[in-house]
Amino acid sequence: MSEGTSSKVLPRLLEPRKLVQLGAVFKGIVPGDLLSRLADATVALPQFRAELHFVLGDGGERLMRGKIHGPAVLQCQRCLEPMNYTLSAEFALAVVWDEAQAMSLPKYLDPWIVTEQEADLYQILEEELLLSMPVVAYHEHHCIDSKLLSAGEAVSETSQQSDNPFDVLKQLKKEQSAD
């Protein structure tokens, strides 16, 4: 069973277990403005393209395999200006009822805990995109003047050597033993 074309907006709520039984494939768009947590972590999010395959795994697991990608505007942590970045994630998620089932999955599968019949597709796709974000976003090129990266004067080797803080105690001990 195949659903829609690549320009169709994907449904927000769906029944993943039923879709696995049907062998459903979805290709479409996820609107960036509906991904609030991701929007908070970025400057701008237009939309993302996703391709999802609902299949049975080799061990009988109900899986949603897929990929999602799209442009985002992040804030460069060097110059604090906006920068273009492509967010992209590939995943294989096993649909499980609870934590106990999640713990029994093979290590190469991540769980998607769905306690009801319906699940929020956008929420799990947003999670995958958040995980794909860089820890620190910065332009590939040097976006600020290198002179701004240094502060103060260079420290010479002789000024780096400091007095031993225990020298004061040593001096006091000498004075006490002389008494």
Nearest to 111 by CA among 100, 122, 126: 100
Per residue in 57-98, pLDDT (tens digit) is 998 999 999 999 999 999 999 899 999 999 999 999 999 999
Q: What integer pLDDT is reported at residue 179 of this predicted model? A: 67
Please give the Cα distance from 137 to 141 (Å, whole number). 12
Sheet containing 62-75: give its strands across: 2-3, 25-31, 47-56, 62-75, 82-96, 110-113
Please give the Cα distance from 129 to 110 (Å, whole number). 14
Phi-psi region of 101 (alpha: psi -120 to 50; beta: other; left: phi over 0): alpha
Pair of tokens at residue 51: 């391709």
Please give the Cα distance from 18 to 146 (Å, whole number). 57
Q: What integer pLDDT is reported at residue 151 of this predicted model? A: 64
For the chain, the domains span 2-132
Per residue in 116-172, pLDDT (tens digit) is 999 999 999 999 999 999 999 988 888 877 776 666 676 665 545 556 778 878 888
Spatial CB neighbours of 177, under 8 Å, sequence gap ≥ 6: none
Q: What integer pLDDT is reported at residue 141 of this predicted model? A: 82
Per residue in 5-55, pLDDT (tens digit) is 457 999 999 999 999 999 999 999 999 999 999 999 999 989 999 999 999
How far is C-alpha 170 from the geometric centre of its chain's CA atoms? Answer: 54
Please give the Cα distance from 70 to 138 (Å, whole number). 18
Nearest to 92 by CA among 142, 51, 130: 51
Per residue in 118-129, pLDDT (tens digit) is 999 999 999 999
Residue 173 has pLDDT above 90, yes or no: no
User: Does residue 67 contact residue 50 with C-beta atoms inside 8 Å?
Assistant: yes
